[in-house]
Amino acid sequence: MMTQDGQRDNGAPAVADTTQGSAEMMNEPCPAEDCDSNRANHEMMPKPGGSYEVRLFTCVECGHRWRES
Ligand SMILES: [Zn+2]
């Protein structure tokens, strides 16, 4: 039986998952009243159908999420 070693189909390079790992921690006061954290994960969320991006923050302490446009 003949095999074609030159026709292997696994040549795709490993790419980073752009939906994960894009968060960047930065200093941002949490707006939650019962939280005094000053650190939040920062993500850029491209708006479908729009030409601008929305900044999405997630508090590292309480997990509160808010956006800043
Ligand atoms: Zn918080």
Q: Which domains does the chain have, with CATH numbers?
A: 24-68 (2.20.25.10)
Tell me whether residue 30 is exposed, middle or buried, using C-beta atoms within 10 angstroms of its C-beta: 0 to 12, 13 to 18, 19 or more: buried
Q: How far apart are the first and last CA of the chain?
A: 62
Tell me what pLDDT residue 53 has. Answer: 81
Q: How far apart are the CA of 9 and the centre of ligand 1, in A?
A: 47
pTM metric for this prediction: 0.59
Q: What pLDDT score does 7 carry? A: 61
32 Cα to the center of ligand 1, angstroms: 6
- Give the pLDDT score at 6: 64
Pairwise CA distance, residues 45 & 49, whole Å: 12
Mean confidence (pLDDT) of the chain: 80
Per-residue tokens: 14: 């490993």
Divide the 69 residues of the chain into consecutive groups of 10 and give the mean pLDDT of each group: 66 56 84 96 82 87 91
pLDDT of residue 29: 96
Q: What is the pLDDT of residue 1?
A: 66
| Ligand 1 centroid – CA 14 distance (Å) | 35
